[in-house]
Structure 1
Amino acid sequence: MLIFLFLLTGIAVTFTFLLWIQGDRRYQSSESVAAAYDAWTNDRLLERLWGDHVHLGHYGNPPRYSDFREAKVSFVHELVQWSGLNQLPTGSKVLDVGCGIGGSARILARDYNFNVVGISISPAQVTRAIELTPHDLNCCFHVMDALSLRLPDQSFDAVWSVEAGPHMPNKQRYADELLRVLKPGGLLAVADWNRRDPSDGAMSKIERIVMRQLLNQWSHPEFASIASFRHNLENSHYAQGGLRTDDWSRATLPSWIDSIVEGLRRPGAILDIGPKAVIQGLRETPTLLLMHWAFATGLMQFGVFKFDRQ
């Protein structure tokens, strides 16, 4: 028992220390989001550990064992099927909002023969997406703010956005822009980290502390709930059509621990970069563990949204 208590105390002290050394990366503006993603892209740690996709994986429901990178690819196909994008004709024009380094865009172009335009607030992500994309894929990438898309109204057959919403300070403007550029008859597919809706219970003191860490460490101004973002979509000036939502928390939950375990599976990915990569990995680990706790306990939910524009 004494050994167990010693180990537990050591883990608690280490965890607290790692949170302390992280400092603060709270949201300040779109520039702070761009700077965070520029840094994550330029050090190449996440790419070397997780591959082309920064988003979570889909492990089935009930979840089953899967390679982390394969689960990320499965996520793209699951969202395509669930949202109905697989029913769109070859050559359909798809906008990927918050495209990262282009992993999802390349799958949409390669496996579904879509013409994909990816946008990100991060110049480093766009540069890396271009570098990783073969010339024979119908993909292009641009630096652009999702709250002010420099794109014509009704110009895309589908709009796709995965885990971008938490960085948006104005959720209604985000919903409006996603729907504004969608053609009549087009499809919207959104997947996001969402907080528990206040109507389902106020946060406890511990939950408020955890929520503040989740917001500050990864430059999030606020999380929408599934219900509140549904409200944003339904109340948009461009919302003529049908909306469907679901909660994929269970199917995606293993991602958080897997994202840490990848460092053990691929130690060379960290060690080859050097000591800074080890420090960076330690810096992110507490937030990943807090995310797992939040999604496992229901403080956070993984919402998916499908809109058929009429």
Structure 2
Amino acid sequence: MTAKDIHLPYFDLLLAQLEQENAKLELAFGRHVHWGYWSEPPQGVVSPKDFAQAAENLSKEIYFAANTKNNQRILDVGCGFGGTVASLNENFSGMELIGLNIDIRQLLRAQEKIKARPGNVIYFEAADACALPFPDQSFDVVLAVECIFHFAQRSQFFAEVWRVLKPGGRFAFSDFVSQDFFSPLMAFSSGWPFSRGFFGHCNLQYTLTQYRSLAQAMGFKERMEKDITENTLPTYAFLRALGKELRIKDPSAKLETWIAEWASRLGLLRYRVFSFEKLKSG
């Protein structure tokens, strides 16, 4: 994939609204652009401030799953506007933090908004997640917050993560994971609306069994797997309310969100957090 292949209408909308100084969008999505995590999911529609905190919580769930510590070199793949990098910068010291994204527009905003604290180093790199422009064994931790479903090949991405991780390094990510019996029906997620719809290309048919098989084949050892679907469900009510307020006309926006929500509520699609370790003997 190249920058020319990027088709992300929801980022087009976000960037346009942020440029127009939409205060609600700035609060909700100006830092993180992913689902929220609530330890005790509330009822009803949450406020933009509550959603922003929930999105921050989700990033923390993932980087704590990677056993993040001070004095590490960390790569955040699919970094969006740099929210996870910003959170790491604020909560750890002695860090070298690299955010990577194929969309230069997102990186330009991240560079503008995020400044390294004393003792930390931050920079952003434009590149394809399946062809990481870094030397072998150069990172302690690799993170991928809710973005792998956009990538051309999960197997190639895993191979690249394995290559750039140091022995004993951790790889943590979140993804929408299909149940084994439902995966064949999710094959439509590689076609419209998920191929060229509001959220761009999305492949939601990968299963827990497939992830574990892929990790084992690469030489990763599973350290943690957590189903947090119920903790993320308030995201959908927030997105519906926001969509009405913004008068989003793209029919695929409603359809894609509806499919993801009800597949999740029915137990067919699960939101999971994973942590794998690159074995030192690998």
Deviations 1:105-131 (A, max 9, x none): 100111123321000010111111111
TM-fit CA distance, 1:143: 0.5
1:181 matched to 2:153: no
Report the AA paired with residue 250 of structure 1. E
CA 1:292–1:99 in 2, change beyond 3 Å: closer, same or farther? same
Alignment of 1:166-205 (within 5 A): 166-197=149-180, 200-201=181-182
1:63 matched to 2:41: yes
Residue 121 of structure 2 corresponds to: 138
Report the AA paired with residue 272 of structure 2. G
1:93 touches 1:158 (CA, 8 Å); kept in 2? yes
Residue 232 of structure 1 corresponds to: 214
Residue 258 of structure 2 corresponds to: 289
User: What's the Cα RMSD here?
Assistant: 2.8
TM-fit CA distance, 1:194: 2.0
**Cα distance in 2 for residues equivalent to 1:201 and 1:260:** 25
Residue 102 of structure 2 corresponds to: 121
Report the AA paired with residue 39 of structure 1. D
Report the AA paired with residue 125 of structure 1. Q
Report the AA paired with residue 59 of structure 2. V
1:36 matched to 2:8: yes
- Give the structure with the higher percent helix: 1
**Cα distance in 2 for residues equivalent to 1:32 and 1:195:** 29
Higher mean C-alpha deviation, range 140-149 or range 216-225: 216-225
**Cα distance in 2 for residues equivalent to 1:172 and 1:107:** 28
Is the partner of 2:6 in helix, strand or coil?
A: helix
Is the partner of 1:308 in helix, strand or coil?
A: strand
Is the partner of 2:176 in helix, strand or coil?
A: strand
Residue 20 of structure 1 corresponds to: none
**Structure 2: tracts of 5 or more residues without a match:** 19-23
Q: How many residues align?
A: 261
TM-fit CA distance, 1:188: 1.1
TM-score by length of 1: 0.74
TM-fit CA distance, 1:261: 2.5
Is the partner of 1:106 in helix, strand or coil?
A: helix
2:193 touches 2:252 (CA, 8 Å); kept in 1? no
Residue 157 of structure 1 corresponds to: 140
Residue 53 of structure 1 corresponds to: 32
1:299 matched to 2:268: yes
Deviations 1:197-250 (A, max 9, x none): 2xx35656xx676785552323325232222122222111xx254443222211
1:215 matched to 2:194: yes
State, as a whole percentage, how many aligned pairs show the same letter. Answer: 25
Is the partner of 1:235 in helix, strand or coil?
A: helix
| Larger Rg, first or second structure (1 or 2) | 1
**Cα distance in 1 for residues equivalent to 2:127 and 2:86:** 19
TM-score by length of 2: 0.81
CA 1:84–1:292 in 2, change beyond 3 Å: closer, same or farther? same
Is the partner of 2:37 in helix, strand or coil?
A: coil
**Cα distance in 2 for residues equivalent to 1:125 and 1:185:** 31
Deviations 1:153-190 (A, max 9, x none): 11011111011211122111111111211111221111
